[in-house]
Amino acid sequence: MLKLIHADLYRSFHRPYLFALTGFFSILAILFNLMFSVDTPIEKSLQFSLNYMKFLPLFAVMIVDIVMTEENKFSTLKNTISFGLGRNRVYVGKLITSVILSVFCAVIAFLFYMGSAFWRMDAGKELTPTFMEEYLLRILVMFLLFTAALFVAMLFAAVFQKKGVYVFAFIGFLLILPLVFSGLGLRIDAFRFLYMVTIFGQAEGLYSINAAQLYEPVLIAVLHMVICDIIGTSIFRRQEIN
């Protein structure tokens, strides 16, 4: 599996798309800090950023596009499968590659974000080690939710081989469905519960819950990963490769 991951990383780093994506997030991170006036304490920007990070899992679709969807588009998967590499290994290998690329992208964008925040703004009284610890913990949980979104994207990439359908299905599942649940949840409690078991629902709540409640998004993320991996591998194993 290491060879598979190594090969996919080789290919991804020969793709300008990955660097464009990283650059896009880095610019977005800098622009976010430019929204605040110079006398705003850094912790305000950091707190505020958590609220916007709920949309980050939507970008998982772009990472999986680099790793998996374009294999469908260019029909290159047949070269890998015909060599006799186990399909489970291929599927899991692509998931791990997606996570590695996400870490690469996220770390660079986060460095730009923190760098521009500290360069432009001053630390306030609330910027204590405890505050930073809680903030970084939430960032880690957000990354876990992002990873869960990667698993969902991989599942959809395996099911829907046409890129347009894949993106539409992913956005529908990750954003539209939770919004529908949220709307219906105003009248029916069961939908409120359904909203809270979605990745978007948990990502949105990350801003307001306390540290002791962080196990909830972790649990939901792990649940999504396990379910999507089981369904995804079983579909991929039976699939005809074109």
Partner 1 sequence: MDTLPEQILKTRNLTKRYGHFTAVNDLSFSLQKGDIYGLIGKNGAGKTTLLKMVSGLTAPASGEMELFGQTSESGLNRVRSRTGCMIESPSFFPYLSAAENLEYYRIQRGIQGKKRIQEILRLVGLSNTGKKKFKSFSTGMKQRLGLAFALMEKPDFLILDEPTNGLDPMGIAEFRDIICKLNREYNTTILISSHILGELSQIATVYGFINQGNLVEQVSASELAKKCRRRLAIKVNDIVKAADILKGELSCTYEITEDSRIFVEKYVDAPEVLNETLVKNGVQVFELTTAGLRLEQYFIDLVGGNQNA
Residues near partner 1 (CB under 8 A) are 3-4, 6-7, 10-11, 14-16, 70, 74-76, 78-86, 238, 240-242
Q: Shortest Cβ distance from residue 185 to partner 1 (Å)?
A: 41
Q: Using CB atoms within 10 Å of the CB of residue 186, give its burial: 0 to 12 exposed, 13 to 18 middle, 19+ buried.
A: exposed
217 alpha-carbon distance from chain centroid:
13
Cβ closer to partner 1: 73 or 190? 73
Nearest alpha carbon to residue 195 among 180, 207, 217? 180
Cβ closer to partner 1: 6 or 51? 6
For residue 188, the 8-state DSSP code is -
What is the number of other CB atoms lying within 10 angstroms of the CB of residue 29?
A: 20
Q: How far apart are CA 180 and CA 82, in angstroms?
A: 43
Cβ closer to partner 1: 101 or 109? 101
Q: How far apart are CA 94 and CA 51, in angstroms?
A: 30
The DSSP-derived string for 77-102 is: HHHHHTTT--HHHHHHHHHHHHHHHH
Q: Shortest Cβ distance from residue 9 to partner 1 (Å)?
A: 9
Q: Shortest Cβ distance from residue 19 to partner 1 (Å)?
A: 12
Q: Shortest Cβ distance from residue 93 to partner 1 (Å)?
A: 9
Cβ closer to partner 1: 83 or 119? 83
Longest pairwise C-alpha distance within the chain: 61
Q: Shortest Cβ distance from residue 199 to partner 1 (Å)?
A: 30
Cβ closer to partner 1: 76 or 213? 76
| Residue length of the chain | 242
Cβ closer to partner 1: 75 or 213? 75
Q: Shortest Cβ distance from residue 110 to partner 1 (Å)?
A: 27
Q: Shortest Cβ distance from residue 146 to partner 1 (Å)?
A: 26
107 HSE (CA, 13 A, CB side)? 6
CB 112 within 8 A of CB 29: yes
CB 181 within 8 A of CB 198: yes
Cβ closer to partner 1: 197 or 241? 241
